[in-house]
Structure formats: structure tokens, C-alpha cells
Structure 1
């Protein structure tokens, strides 16, 4: 698979932009575009030039989700090429940078920061970081929305859309199909591969809860997505960061096990220290936080606490989570599994 590795010092390491080129039709497509900074734009342009293309040649841009390290340059490339930009309908307003949608996201984030108990000075640091990062968001793009099960013919390849929310509301994976006749098959073909964005990463576990505060029940949705990807049993997947994953089913189940262990850690914090808000639980799990992690840390703690609340293991009252009386009798393997 032809990929261009792009710089990224803030989010999970180097980003991957994938190049899909059909020599017979000259069709050119990109899967994700990287952060909108001059240096990264120049690196991306150089990478395309090495392959005999420039931005004006791009016909289609397929986005895994709206985060700036995946969609930042989409608008600028579209302006040069007239490319069609595909993104899930849930993330479309974010990529189009609709003012009402951006304001609603900001308002929801601020409300959660208060609910999670994030101190005012940490909130101010986070908001300053977000303001200073506005330049990497890039230009808005006009998008064509997609949904689960859609089939795209781009760059000489056939991609089936697999909606996998959790890390982001509109996060999609793209299963690589040989032709439209294989789309919607009950089982994937031997040797099947997929672009997975941040659904599964080779080193880090994708953040849930803080990465997109629009997602309801983020942990439950993410575990469902992991189970879906594990069941498809791909031979290889191409993530949004770092190197390809050659045993993706094992990696998906490893991440699910990580979340089971993290849930145990959350319960241990409440058992040892008593009722606590998400910020306090986060401090016990992750220590001091700075930059974007000021929302990612308590967001991750919240995702687990919220999941436990829905499962009847903890209750939420007056800004704090507390164990219910019979919490010691709960089988954690039942509460948090990749089968949720």
C-alpha cells in the first residue's frame, strides 16, 4: 500500500496519508490528508511529486474522521483540484466547519470540563492550547456524506464503508474490495485489508471520551466497533498513524482487554479513595496532564465511569461517581468486553 508519512508532534505520532492511483484511468485518491501546516503541506506535496502527481491531480479524498490530523488539508487540496471529499454524515459539519456545529462542540466540551471537575486553570490551559492550534485546522471543505455500507469507487479501488464510532462520532474504516460484486459479503475474503484511521492503532490505544465529546456512551460504542473489526478478521490493516498492523484481530482484542483492565483500575480508585469526579479519577490513572491531554485524560476516565453507571455498577450524584453497595459482586468480564 502506498502511503506518505506526515509529521505530527501532538497526536499519536506520524500520520499516514494513503495514495490510491489507477494508471489505466489516471484516477487519483487520498485516504486522509494530515495537518494543515506549511511544513506538512510541503512534505505532502513532495511525496506526491515523487509519484508524479501534485494536489491538482487529486480526484477524491476519503476521510476516516474529522480530526485535524486527518482532515486538516482536505479543504486546501479540494480548492486546488476540485476533488470530491467523502466523510461520514456525523462528521460532515466539522469538516465543513459549520459555525453552529463548531460552537455546539465548544459549548459541549466546556460543559463536560465543568462536569468532570477540571480545575479552572487547567481549563484555561486547554482552551489556550486549542486556540493556538486553530491554524492547523485548515480550510473548510465541501463534503459528500457517506454512511455505513456505502461503496466508493476511488483511485481504481473499491472501498466499503464500515462505520466504527467511539473515538469520533463519524469515524469510518474502509474495507478494500476487489470489485463491487464483493461488497456486502457475509464474510470478508482471505487476504482482505482495510484502512482504519484511529479505530485501531499499533502502539497507543485510541482515546475515547475526550477525543470527541459528541459521542454518547463512547466506551460502549468503541467496544462494539472493535468487536465488529475483530469479527471481520482482516489479514492486514492500515492505520492512521505509524506502521501497518499484520495481526489486526489480535490487536483489536488486546485493546479491548486494555479497556477491561482500565475499568478495573477505575473501580479500584473508587474503592480506595471513595466518591470522585472524572478529573480526580483521571489524576489517579494518568497523573499530571497538559495540552490536549487535559481533555483526553478525564474524557477517558468519564468514558469508563459512564459505562459503569449504565451497567449499574456506579452511580453519579452531585458531580461525583460512587460505587453502589453490591459493586464487589460484579463480574467485570461481563461488564466490559468486546461483545458489548
Structure 2
């Protein structure tokens, strides 16, 4: 049975499973509007996930063909994966921030071999050891290259414009651009009185930006075709403060559970990243590669127990933290090092 929760005021959430993932599920939110029901995110592109979504809607007396629109908080497959199927079954429009639409469009045209070459080069520069690179080289040489994730993701047909109300009849849902987790992540501020009368300014569909117990992954915005130097962690920290200023009554995240004290959670996350950056700066008393730094960082399990693909994600997170330290003037690359190492500077 699909777990469906009513949040009052024409808002529900549906637990849509994520296959083989410790997160367990995505909370897909349903918002009633005067033109029909609108989904906020859709869940992973998987038969069980699809059946769960359809079944959950049915318990509310809603057929998939009744969906009027889909608003996507960000392009990741546990949020955007089923959007294309929903549109095909209902004719619904799909809205997304242009920065994430760019990622979807780029991924749809990606050649697996090109992506594999890019990842191999990135990990080599980051100082990954030969034994970690070996499977990548073997896959390239054998031609056994996996399909790039997101290759079949739906292209949105509407842009989400930050700061503006979405075109939802009878509802006031404003897009708040919150880059960090992805370049085009948005939170959605429902500017309506809380149905239970909780103090604060409406409710916030926070996607992955603000979760009650988890600090979302902040890695580099990977793009093989672009050389722009981004600062995802800086983007994320700025976005957190933007959300804090909204002073919402309740947060409806895409994972875990709803919560009320958004300001306290923002402060916890800001403190977490401040402590983490300080700890990494101490580690950089000696020159380290991004790989070296990732190995020494604190994760939810020992490094040797982290799966292969997750280690690549961890290295990307280490690089995002290094970017932030460099931008703050607290670390710098060691000239002439190969692979590239970084060292702390200043007090």
C-alpha cells in the first residue's frame, strides 16, 4: 500500500520508493489547484515507483490522466525520473529551473564514452590511485560502457523563474532559487496561511535543499563541455540564508519528514559546514590531493566500506569544499604538483 499523508489545505505527500537506495523513498507532493492536481516532483523511473505513484493517487480518487502539471525541484532522477511518463499519460506540463533544464538537455545528448573519459580524467587529476582508475580504463578499452544516467529524462516545457509565482490557478506558489545541491534547485514557497494555524509565513516545499536530519550532497557541478569555475558550497550556504529569511511555518521536504523550525535547521547546517571547512583546513597543513582529503573526511561509514560509485561522489564533495576554501583565501593549489595538491594558507 502506498503511504499517503494529508497535510491539510489541499496538500498531500506520497512515499514513492527509490530502488536500492538507503534514502528509501521520495516524498512526492500533490497540490490541489483550480485547474487540477499538480505534482511537486515525481520519483524514480522504475516500474515499482510508477505503480506506487499511480496507486497513491488512486487512493485520493485521482487518475494519472488527471494531473495538470509537474513542478520539479531539481533534475536528479529520484525527483524528475517519472516526469516523462506522467506527461505522456496526462498531457501535463513540466516546469524546471533553466539551469537544471540545461543539465537535462546536455545529459540527453551525452555519449557514454565521452562521460567515461571525463570522469577518468577528473579522478586522475584528483589523485585517485591506479586501482580505483583500473575499472574505468577496462570499461573504456572493452567498450562495455554503461548508459549515462538521465539519458531519457524528460525535457521540461516551462521555465521556473526565480522570485515569481508559478501559474497555478487558485494557489500562491513562489519559486525560490536555491542552488547548491544542483545549479537549478528550487524551493517552492506556498504563500498561504498554514491550515493548522502554525505561526510563520506559509509552507515550503524544500526538495533536497533543507532536510530535517540529512546534510545534502554538495559536489561540483559536473559539465564536460564547460570550464567555468563554480562554487557550489558557497551557493548552498547563501541559499540557506535566503530560505531562513522566509520564516516559514513548516517545511515539507522531499525526504524524511515535515518539520517546523526551519531557522534552527538552517543554523545547524551552517554550523556543520563551518566546522567541516575548519577541519579540512587543519588537514591541509600538509599538501593533499582531493582524493587524499576525501579519504580523511568524515563520512557515514569508514572509507573502505563506501561503494565504488559513492567514493567518486565523495571526491566531488571534497573538491567542492576545496573550491570554497580557495575562494575564501584559506587554501591554494601547490604550483607544479601532479596530481594537483592543495595546502592551507594564512592563520
- Show CA shifts across 1:69-115 (max 9, x none): 10000011111111110000001133456544687877655543233
Establish whether residue 196 from structure 1 lines up as the match of residue 196 from structure 2. Answer: no
Establish whether residue 259 from structure 1 lines up as the match of residue 273 from structure 2. Answer: yes
Cα distance, 1:137 vs structure 2: 6.5
Aligned to 1:74: 83
**Contact 1:151 1:160 survives alignment (8 Å):** yes
Cα distance, 1:263 vs structure 2: 0.8
Aligned to 2:183: 169
**Contact 2:107 2:151 survives alignment (8 Å):** no
Aligned to 2:293: 281
1:111-150 equivalences in 2 (<5 Å): 111-123=121-133, 139-150=153-164
Cα distance, 1:252 vs structure 2: 1.1
RMSD: 2.7
Establish whether residue 4 from structure 1 lines up as the match of residue 14 from structure 2. Answer: yes
Aligned to 2:331: 314
- Aligned partner of residue 91 in structure 1, secondary structure: helix
Aligned to 1:35: 44
Aligned to 1:17: 28
Q: Distance in 1 between matches of 2:270 and 2:99?
A: 24
Aligned to 2:312: 295
How many residue pairs match? The answer is 310
Cα distance, 1:292 vs structure 2: 3.8
Aligned to 1:206: 216
- With the length of structure 2 as denominator, give the TM-score of the two structures: 0.81
Aligned to 1:183: none
- Choose from 153, 157, 167 the match for 2:171: 157
Q: Distance in 2 between matches of 1:297 and 1:316?
A: 19
Q: Distance in 1 between matches of 2:22 and 2:182?
A: 14
Cα distance, 1:123 vs structure 2: 4.8
**Contact 2:211 2:253 survives alignment (8 Å):** yes
**Contact 2:13 2:28 survives alignment (8 Å):** yes
Q: 1:97 to 1:71 in 2, by over 3 A?
A: farther
**Contact 1:314 1:323 survives alignment (8 Å):** yes
- Aligned partner of residue 27 in structure 1, secondary structure: coil
Q: Distance in 1 between matches of 2:258 and 2:236?
A: 20
- The structure that is helix-richer by fraction is 1
Q: 1:108 to 1:254 in 2, by over 3 A?
A: farther
Cα distance, 1:242 vs structure 2: 1.3
Aligned to 1:225: 239
- Aligned partner of residue 287 in structure 2, secondary structure: coil
- Choose from 56, 69, 91 the match for 2:100: 91
Q: 1:97 to 1:81 in 2, by over 3 A?
A: farther
Aligned to 2:196: none
Question: Which of 1 and 2 has higher RCO (CA within 8 Å, sep 6+)?
Answer: 1
- Aligned partner of residue 316 in structure 2, secondary structure: helix
Structure 2, unmatched stretches of 5+, are 1-6, 140-144, 194-198, 224-228
Q: Distance in 2 between matches of 1:11 and 1:143?
A: 32
**Contact 1:6 1:43 survives alignment (8 Å):** yes
Q: Distance in 2 between matches of 1:152 and 1:93?
A: 20
Q: Distance in 1 between matches of 2:241 and 2:125?
A: 30
Cα distance, 1:31 vs structure 2: 0.1
Q: 1:98 to 1:301 in 2, by over 3 A?
A: closer
Structure 1, unmatched stretches of 5+, are 180-188, 330-340
